[in-house]
Structure 1
Amino acid sequence: MKARYQFRFYPTDQQQRSLAQLFGCVRVVWNDALAICKQSEKLPSNNDLQKLVITQAKKTESRAWLGEVSNIPLQQSIADLGVAYKNFFESLKGKRKGKKVGTPRFKKKTSQQSARFRIGGFSIKGQRVYLAKIGEVSPIWSRELPSAPSSVTVIKDCANRYFLSFVVEIEPIQIDAKNQSIGIDLGIKTFAVMSNGAKSATGDTPRGELCEKAESPIYSVLDRKIRKLQKKLARQPKESKRRAKTRIQIAKLHNRIADTRKDFLHKLSTKIVSENQTIVLEDLNVSGLVKNRRLARSISLQGWREFRTQCEAKSAKLGRNFRVISRWEPTSQVCSECGYKWGKLDLSVRSVKCINCNTQHDRDENAAKNINKVGIGHCHDSKWAQRRDKTTTVTHLSTKRQESPRLQAGEYVK
């Protein structure tokens, strides 16, 4: 299986100018080829596009500077455009899983820049990496590459940081897991509530368990700074130096949030996958959840989909079982102890007391346990009894009148 290893490096001033020229050539080749594809009735082949926008374009006066950079990244740009169109057509036909893929778009100078070198365009010499017509660069080697890379991509993000991204082949490894399975319920303030945990020493019920929880990093401080700078950016005239400076400040804040989230998700996913043989998640409808204008920004900052992708990739690497249950499973409506179904609960209700088995549940912990049971193929039959009684939420018990045991018509608390 393939994996990607990314390292940061600091180019010299001359190398920055050479990389800027390379990024510009790659961007121009992509945009010229995309313009031809949009104007053509039939999609041209990659070889035809290379002849038009690279070979013949170098002979013209307006594109003669394409010959000053390595030809390998330019050819790879055409190949990437072909892959983008292939993904688009497969998405239209329903052959590609996941979210619908749109048509390729033109690249901008202010967006993230990249150029890919195949074998022949780069080489690793000790602690340095040679790039064709760029020179030798010294990345910060935070870890060793497991095998020889098949390609390397030079990346410059919006905050003017430079990275080398290597694609290598890795072999799956087998590590014994401490736990058989784990169910994970994802949230906002508490990012993950996991079904594993030690037995509770105190509590309303001796059968209760304390689930392990992972608190989400606080993004609100940096997010408020971004929103303030975005308002400032909207008032500044285009193509001005101050607007460019503000844009860099916003990009740096975005990178701080992204780096914090990536670090948190990698550490959490590595811990979960290494300790558990079966990992069970719930298929969340994130595109529907972000339509809530009050929670859309907070949900978007969490990275639920990225966490799922990391768990799935690391499970394949370590030989774990990764499962995703249906989003329609009533994990928050069923008692994890006896299987009694009490129905839908308002989001403000965080604690529930089952009237059938008299077990007090935390809403998220109960959902995590049910996710684990459904994922491993074992769940209680919630249809075994009629709904003679109705489960009453703990948060509502204190607000009911104390003089009468009868709460509502046909509802009792045992």
Structure 2
Amino acid sequence: MTLIVRGYKTELKLNNAQRTACLKHAGTSRYAYNWGLRRYQEERAAGRKAPTAMSLHKELNALKQGELSWMYEVSKAAPQESLRDLEHAFKHFWKRCAKKQQGRWRGKLGYPRFKSKKRGIGSFRLTGAIHVGEDWVQLPRLGKLRLKERGYLPTTGVHILSATVSERAGRWYVSLQVEEEHAEAAIALGETIGIDLGIKALATLSDGRVFGNPKALGSHLKQLRRLSRQHARKQLGSKNRQKAARKLARLHAHIANLRQDTVHQVTALIVAKTKPDQQRPTCIVLEDLQVSSMVKNRNLSRAIADVGFAEFRRQLEYKAQQAGSLVYTVSQWEPSSKTCSWCGWIDEDLTLSDRLFHCEACGSVIDRDRNASINLALKAAG
């Protein structure tokens, strides 16, 4: 048995009083983060040592006796965990700065930003006495909150570390971080599978299966543009602008959920966790795609970002580990699409617009994505 940390996220069914309490907790968490960021900057500007999360929390507790007495209405864990998040954010920022100086980091450094209410209500994390039932979860200072999904959250056999409550497009969610024991997965004994990720088809497998791309953003782009125009035309600060913002947020959430659901279903079917050992793939082979470089193509950047290659790989890796399969990555410079999977001849003139691979050496004709997936599978076997 191995001890793993896992997250369970589900939607809450709140009444008006509970929604108000959650808004207070989220606001307090956001205020504590912004206050801590300001204090951090003041200390650094004065040439003093950067404050820790614990020192900031002690200072914040002293302020509760006076001007911040309203913080007693919420759980003490909300601002405390927010200050810990700020401390971790600065630690990661300085690590990236050090790597940047050594030439080992490319991209943004990610300096912690001020949390504005305009960018969303946000979330808050709670620790302490957290209890779970079939259709409810009990959180500190919030009491019992009803769940929209029954029987999803684990009620026994786990150790609950924390609960994060978040809001998105008018809906509230709770995510539990738990420690639970899992039996060691039996080693998968099935065939090796190569996966070629793409835009037209989300994933083309070497065994012949093809999973389509729902194009979550592309299929809703016209509607998204219309709602964006409606929101921009409303008067600032008006009720109609708030209504338009809610409609736009719901559409963005729907697009994200559609993309996430598709990736979850496809990765689960590939890993086949519930099938016998002989039917689960021994090894899964992917290309090590550099999405940050791929999106520089102006003609394909939106379509590439709409697929979610990084999320696909992340889910595939942890699901394969739980199913006893290996995930092997091949360099993105490997000519998997240009190489014949039968004889090994390489077509140097193959372009992105060529959807069929014609081998001039052996005469085989095959779909280029299927050809690439077979080559990836052969790469692991070799």
> Structure 2 CA distance, aligned partners of 1:81 and 1:178?
45
Deviation at residue 357 of structure 1 after TM alignment: 1.3
Q: Which amino acid aligns with 1:187?
A: G
Q: Which amino acid aligns with 2:263?
A: L
Query: Could you say which structure has the greater relative contact order, defined with CA pairs below 8 angstroms and 6 or more residues apart?
Result: 2
Cα distance change of structure 1 residues 112 and 318 upon mapping to structure 2, 3 Å threshold: farther
Q: Deviations over 1:325-368 (max 9, x none)?
A: 11111111211111112214111111122111111121111111
Q: Which amino acid aligns with 2:158?
A: S
Structure 1-normalised TM-score? 0.82
Q: Deviations over 1:283-340 (max 9, x none)?
A: 1121122222222222211111111110011122222211111111111121111111
Residue 66 of structure 2: which of 60, 63, 74 is its match?
A: 60
Deviation at residue 172 of structure 1 after TM alignment: 5.2
Q: How does 1:207-222 map to 2 (within 5 A)?
A: 211-219=208-216, 220-222=218-220
The secondary structure found in structure 2 opposite 1:149 is strand
Q: Deviations over 1:74-115 (max 9, x none)?
A: 111111111111122222233998965501111122415211
Map of 2:114 onto structure 1: 106
Residue 169 of structure 1: which of 179, 189, 195 is its match?
A: 179
The secondary structure found in structure 1 opposite 2:51 is coil
Contact 1:172 1:316 in 2 (8 A): no
Deviates more, 1:148-157 or 1:166-175: 166-175
> Structure 2 CA distance, aligned partners of 1:98 and 1:32?
30
Q: Which amino acid aligns with 1:27?
A: R
Q: Deviations over 1:159-212 (max 9, x none)?
A: 11111101122425425646321111111121111011xxxxxxxxxxxxxx21
Structure of larger gyration radius: 1
Structure 2-normalised TM-score? 0.88
| Structure 2, gaps ≥5 residues long | 273-279
Map of 1:43 onto structure 2: 50
Map of 1:262 onto structure 2: 260
Q: How does 1:396-407 map to 2 (within 5 A)?
A: none
Map of 1:153 onto structure 2: 164
Q: How does 1:1-400 map to 2 (within 5 A)?
A: 1-41=4-44, 42-52=49-59, 54-61=60-67, 63-94=68-99, 101-110=109-118, 111-120=120-129, 122-125=130-133, 127-139=135-147, 140-145=149-154, 147-157=158-168, 159-170=169-180, 171=182, 173-175=184-186, 177=188, 179-196=190-207, 211-219=208-216, 220-274=218-272, 275-374=280-379, 376=380, 378=382
Cα distance change of structure 1 residues 101 and 152 upon mapping to structure 2, 3 Å threshold: farther
Deviation at residue 255 of structure 1 after TM alignment: 1.1
Contact 1:332 1:344 in 2 (8 A): no
Contact 1:172 1:319 in 2 (8 A): no
| Structure 1, gaps ≥5 residues long | 197-210, 379-414
Q: Which amino acid aligns with 2:35?
A: D
Deviation at residue 151 of structure 1 after TM alignment: 1.0
> Structure 1 CA distance, aligned partners of 2:143 and 2:153?
22
> Structure 2 CA distance, aligned partners of 1:48 and 1:22?
21
> Structure 2 CA distance, aligned partners of 1:98 and 1:182?
32
Contact 1:266 1:310 in 2 (8 A): yes
Contact 1:186 1:192 in 2 (8 A): yes
Across the two proteins, how many residue pairs are aligned to each other?
A: 359
Cα distance change of structure 1 residues 242 and 175 upon mapping to structure 2, 3 Å threshold: farther
Deviation at residue 17 of structure 1 after TM alignment: 0.9
Q: Deviations over 1:208-240 (max 9, x none)?
A: xxx211011143332221122212322333222
Structure number having the greater helix percentage: 2
Deviation at residue 273 of structure 1 after TM alignment: 1.4
Cα distance change of structure 1 residues 132 and 240 upon mapping to structure 2, 3 Å threshold: same
Q: Which amino acid aligns with 2:92?
A: N
Cα distance change of structure 1 residues 128 and 294 upon mapping to structure 2, 3 Å threshold: same
The secondary structure found in structure 1 opposite 2:297 is coil
> Structure 2 CA distance, aligned partners of 1:234 and 1:300?
24
Q: Which amino acid aligns with 1:162?
A: W
Cα RMSD, aligned residues only: 2.1
Deviation at residue 377 of structure 1 after TM alignment: 5.0
Contact 1:9 1:138 in 2 (8 A): yes
Cα distance change of structure 1 residues 178 and 272 upon mapping to structure 2, 3 Å threshold: farther
> Structure 2 CA distance, aligned partners of 1:237 and 1:155?
28
Deviates more, 1:171-180 or 1:80-89: 171-180
